[in-house]
């Protein structure tokens, strides 16, 4: 099903799989590994219930300091390539004078200053 509850359930599963309490900051490798395990569990459930539809398991999780993202396609009947995962990097976003309240990324990198 395509609904907000899918995302909420996937996030609850992610939180449940974290080896640390959600109040503790996890290292980036733990966030990554937990996201991978969450996708594995979801795929196992889809297999168990013989779901044949394409599943797009696209996630981004962050603790405010680190981020993990996935662009994963599961389709047991055919090879469906995952679309590109676009990302941006920088240290902050700043508002721009635009009618829709858009923002743009600042290229300031504290590590290079």
Q: Can you name the residues that pair with 58 across neighbouring β-strands?
A: 71
Rounded to the nearest integer, the mean pLDDT of the chain is 80
* Residue pair 31/68 in contact by the 8 Å Cβ criterion: yes
* pLDDT tens sequence across 56-81: 888 999 988 888 999 888 887 877 67
Beta strands in 4-88 (DSSP E): 55-62, 67-74
Question: Could you give the CA distance from residue 61 to residue 66 in angstroms, rounded to a whole number?
Answer: 8
Q: What are the tens digits of pLDDT across the range 28-57?
A: 999 999 999 999 999 999 999 999 888 888
How confident is the model at residue 7, as a pLDDT?
Answer: 87
Strand 103-106 and strand 92-95: the pairing is antiparallel
Residue 2 parent element (H or E) = none
Give the per-residue pLDDT at 91: 64
The larger pLDDT score, comparing residue 18 to residue 75, is at 18
The percentage of residues in the chain with a pLDDT greater than 70, rounded to a whole number, is 67
């Amino acid at each position: 099903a395509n609904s907000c509850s899918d995302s909420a359930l996937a996030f609850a599963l992610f939180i449940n799989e974290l080896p640390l309490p959600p109040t503790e900051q996890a290292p980036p490798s733990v966030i990554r590994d937990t996201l991978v395990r969450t996708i594995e569990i979801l795929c196992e459930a889809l297999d168990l219930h013989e779901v044949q539809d394409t599943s797009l398991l696209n996630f981004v999780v962050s603790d405010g300091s680190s981020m993990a993202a996935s662009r994963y396609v599961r389709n047991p009947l055919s090879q469906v390539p995952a679309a590109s995962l676009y990302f941006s990097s920088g240290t902050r976003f700043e508002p721009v004078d635009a009618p829709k309240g858009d923002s743009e990324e600042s290229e300031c990198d504290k590590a290079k200053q």
